[in-house]
Amino acid sequence: GIQVEQSPPDLILQEGANSTLRCNFSDSVNNLQWFHQNPWGQLINLFYIPSGTKQNGRLSATTVATERYSLLYISSSQTTDSGVYFCAVGSNQAGTALIFGKGTTLSVSS
Amino acid sequence: GAGVSQSPSNKVTEKGKDVELRCDPISGHTALYWYRQSLGQGLEFLIYFQGNSAPDKSGLPSDRFSAERTGGSVSTLTIQRTQQEDSAVYLCASSRGPALGYTFGSGTRLTVV
């Protein structure tokens, strides 16, 4: 099946810093999503981005499907950005569910 | 409803007992997914329902696990003869269709003692 690798596994930032999270995948995809899991366990959908670039406030994401990677950018980080960021992909095989990477754990301190 | 609703939010059960977990997806969402997240781990796919198609059960870890979705809406995940390794957070998500954005519920934390 499709493999999803996220890097770095852990990231520690001071408030105000910028960061880039990476997601590599092993096969063609028709679905790619980024999620944030907050410290209480709730998973929030950040982006649905099988290709191209999107921005939402301080967050933006880019997926280069032909090169099989996606990047999540966090600018001017805040303590509320702390948590685990997951990349999840669905392959071009019809009707498949998302496969999740192991996540990047982000800690932002004030 | 406005979001994906899961119940119960917490469940403690004795080893060997059966449990049922419920998921009520967003109205109109045809796709429904169950995942499991063990402590400190990523999300493990369990089962996927899409409309009236046969479900994708390829992620179910053993025949003690089963799920159904009645009337294309509410889904129930059943775990028979629970074991301690079944302890995890069980998460349900729904989407408007396949290959579209997911919305997750808050999960059911299952503890088998």
**E strand map for A1-110:** 4-7, 10-14, 19-25, 29-37, 43-48, 52-56, 59-64, 69-74, 83-91, 99-100, 104-109
Contact B100 A31 (CB under 8 A): yes
Provide the domain count of chain A: 1
A4 touches A86 (CB < 8 A): no
- Return the HEC string of B60-75: CCCCCEEEEEHHHCCE
Return d(Cα B75, Cα B34) in angstroms, integer: 9
Task: Select the residue from A100, A102, A104 to test the B interface by mutation, using most B Cβ atoms within 10 A.
Answer: A100
Task: Let me know the angle formed at the C-alpha of B110 by B63 and A105, rounded to the nearest 5 degrees.
Answer: 105
| Closest alpha carbon within chain A to B45 | A99
Task: Kindly list the residues from chain B whose CB atom is less than 8 angstroms away from the CB atom of residue A31.
Answer: 99-100
Domains and CATH numbers, chain B: 5-112 (2.60.40.10)
Looking at the complex, does the CB of residue B45 fall below 8 Å from at least one CB of chain A? yes
Across B95-113, average pLDDT: 93
* pLDDT tens, position by position, A34-53: 999 999 999 999 999 999 99
* pLDDT tens, position by position, A68-85: 999 999 999 999 999 999
Tokens 């069980």: give the residue: B90
Across B81-99, average pLDDT: 94
CATH code of the domain containing A22: 2.60.40.10
Contact B99 A50 (CB under 8 A): yes
**Is 70 exceeded by the pLDDT of residue A93?**
no
Task: Kindly list the residues from chain A whose CB atom is less than 8 angstroms away from the CB atom of residue B104.
Answer: 35, 42-45
Q: Label residue B1 by pLDDT band (50, 70, 90).
A: low
* pLDDT tens, position by position, A19-39: 999 999 999 999 999 999 999
pLDDT, mean over chain B: 94
Return d(Cα B67, Cα B34) in angstroms, integer: 9
Contact B98 A42 (CB under 8 A): no
The Cα of A41 is separated from the nearest Cα of chain B by a number of Å equal to 7
The domain of A75 spans 4-93+100-109
